[in-house]
């Protein structure tokens, strides 16, 4: 099965939130003048499409701060991207008219940041009173419009014990199938506030296991891998649920990332450049595939937690559905048949959720 490739484009750094754990420095969050010009954004998306990327993944900063975001979304769809994914904190999507404007422009996946199961936790972490309420409203607006919702959740000291409670809302209440549980990147604001926010792998893993058990026991549907910035030795039974831990099978399969200053990077290549390994990693069954663990983490906690896995263990009984991937396969076949501009029908998450609740 061929997985659709992302084309990631950083459109801006400025943001209307002040997340304590942001991996950008605080000074970057007000740099309105450093937004990517529209022509450069179009050129980046065009280059990604020529590389047969299927997902235009628009990221920031907070990209809904750009008034021309609907235009950029339309540009991506006009180039033949069947998926346009908007990464956002969800604040502006609490406005039904704005949510509709982006969906009508062609955005069909919204990756929304949610960092706690309640207003006290989430609002404190993102620095915006009322943010949690707005995110819940954004969920309702996007669900009514038939758009797909994905979630980013960054672990830290204040929320790692609440992961199961968050999934009870995301999966149980809203039926959202695609979410990333992200172990923190100790860079930018997160590095500056490490003494306040830090959480170790050893501390977090029991609560991740608790959350996985909830998903299994509740018969939740998950779209894809959901653990980001973890290493196989952290949770060897959940390797099949991890993302961005292994090198692409072939270098040319690595996905492009376009920076505001014109630089072009490769996602996995960039990730690996930030990682290191212990000498004992050579004894791990995953050594030839694994990129290692982040240097930033080792600077704070050391590297003793990362020990070689001598033998693969049975996988945890939670298997991704790849429903969206299956949709993409149909589009891929159409593309090969000459219908490169084929778009998506309205996403079917709403129908699947209705069926699940019946």
pLDDT tens sequence across 76-118: 999 999 999 999 999 999 999 999 999 999 999 999 999 999 9
Q: Report which of 329, 322, 356, 354 is spatially closest to residue 344, judged by C-alpha positions.
A: 329
DSSP string for residues in 55-93: EEEEESS-GGG-TTHHHHHHHHHHTT-SEEEEEE-SSGG
Instruction: Please report the pLDDT score of residue 343 as a whole number.
Output: 41
In whole angstroms, what is the distance from residue 84 CA to residue 54 CA? 9
How many CA within 13 A on the CB side of residue 74?
9
Q: Report which of 208, 73, 210 is spatially closest to residue 153, judged by C-alpha positions.
A: 208
- List the structure tokens of 344: 């998506």
Phi then psi for residue 48, to 5 deg, are: -60, -40
Instruction: Please report the pLDDT score of residue 332 as a whole number.
Output: 63
Per-residue model confidence as pLDDT tens for the chain (358 residues): 556 789 999 999 999 999 999 987 776 667 778 899 999 999 999 999 999 999 999 999 999 999 999 999 999 999 999 999 999 999 999 999 999 999 999 999 999 999 999 999 999 999 999 999 999 999 999 999 999 999 999 999 999 999 999 999 999 999 999 999 999 999 988 999 999 999 999 999 999 999 999 999 999 999 999 999 999 999 999 999 999 899 887 666 789 999 999 999 998 888 999 999 999 999 999 999 999 999 999 999 999 999 999 999 999 999 999 887 787 777 666 655 654 443 433 334 443 443 444 4
In whole angstroms, what is the distance from residue 238 CA to residue 108 CA? 29
Instruction: Please report the pLDDT score of residue 248 as a whole number.
Output: 82
| Contact call for residues 10 and 173 (beta carbons, < 8 A) | no
Instruction: Please report the pLDDT score of residue 337 as a whole number.
Output: 60
pTM score of the predicted model: 0.90
- List the structure tokens of 284: 């791990």
Show the domains of the chain with their CATH numbers: 6-342 (3.20.20.70)
Per-residue pLDDT reduced to its tens digit, 30-48: 777 889 999 999 999 999 9
Instruction: Please report the pLDDT score of residue 28 as a whole number.
Output: 66
Instruction: Please report the pLDDT score of residue 166 as a whole number.
Output: 98
Q: Report which of 150, 156, 161 is spatially closest to residue 185, judged by C-alpha positions.
A: 156
Instruction: Please report the pLDDT score of residue 340 as a whole number.
Output: 41
């Amino acid at each position: 099965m061929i997985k659709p490739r992302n084309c990631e484009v950083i459109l801006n750094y400025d943001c209307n939130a002040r997340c304590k754990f942001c991996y950008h420095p605080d000074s970057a969050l007000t740099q309105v003048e450093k937004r990517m010009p529209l022509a450069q954004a179009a050129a980046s998306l065009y280059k990604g499409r020529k590389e047969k990327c299927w997902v235009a993944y628009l990221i920031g900063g907070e990209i809904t701060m750009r008034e021309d975001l609907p235009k950029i979304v339309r540009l991506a769809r006009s180039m033949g991207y069947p998926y346009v994914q908007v990464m956002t904190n969800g604040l502006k999507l609490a406005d039904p008219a704005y949510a509709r404007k982006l969906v009508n422009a062609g955005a069909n996946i919204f990756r929304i940041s949610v960092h706690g199961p309640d207003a006290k936790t989430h609002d404190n972490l993102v620095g915006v009173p009322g943010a949690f309420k707005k995110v819940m409203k954004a969920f309702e607006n996007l669900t009514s419009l038939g758009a797909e919702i994905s979630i980013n959740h960054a672990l830290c000291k204040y929320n790692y014990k609440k992961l199961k409670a968050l999934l009870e809302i995301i999966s149980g209440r809203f039926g959202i199938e695609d979410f990333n549980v992200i172990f923190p990147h100790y860079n930018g604001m997160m590095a500056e506030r490490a003494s306040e926010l830090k959480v170790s792998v050893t501390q977090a893993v029991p609560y991740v296991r608790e959350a996985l058990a909830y998903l299994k026991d509740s018969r939740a549907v998950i779209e894809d891998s959901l653990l980001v910035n973890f290493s196989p030795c952290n949770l060897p039974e959940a390797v099949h649920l991890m993302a961005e831990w292994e090198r692409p099978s072939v270098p040319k399969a690595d996905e492009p990332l376009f920076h505001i200053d014109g630089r072009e990077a490769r996602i996995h290549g960039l990730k690996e450049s930030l990682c290191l390994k212990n000498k004992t990693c050579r004894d791990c069954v995953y050594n030839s595939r694994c990129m290692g663990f982040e240097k930033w983490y080792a600077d704070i906690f050391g590297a003793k937690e990362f020990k070689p896995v001598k033998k693969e263990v049975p996988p945890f009984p939670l298997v991704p559905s790849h429903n969206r991937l299956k949709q993409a396969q149909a589009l891929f076949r159409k593309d090969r048949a000459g219908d490169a501009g084929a778009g998506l029908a309205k996403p079917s998450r709403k129908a699947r959720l209705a069926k699940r609740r019946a």
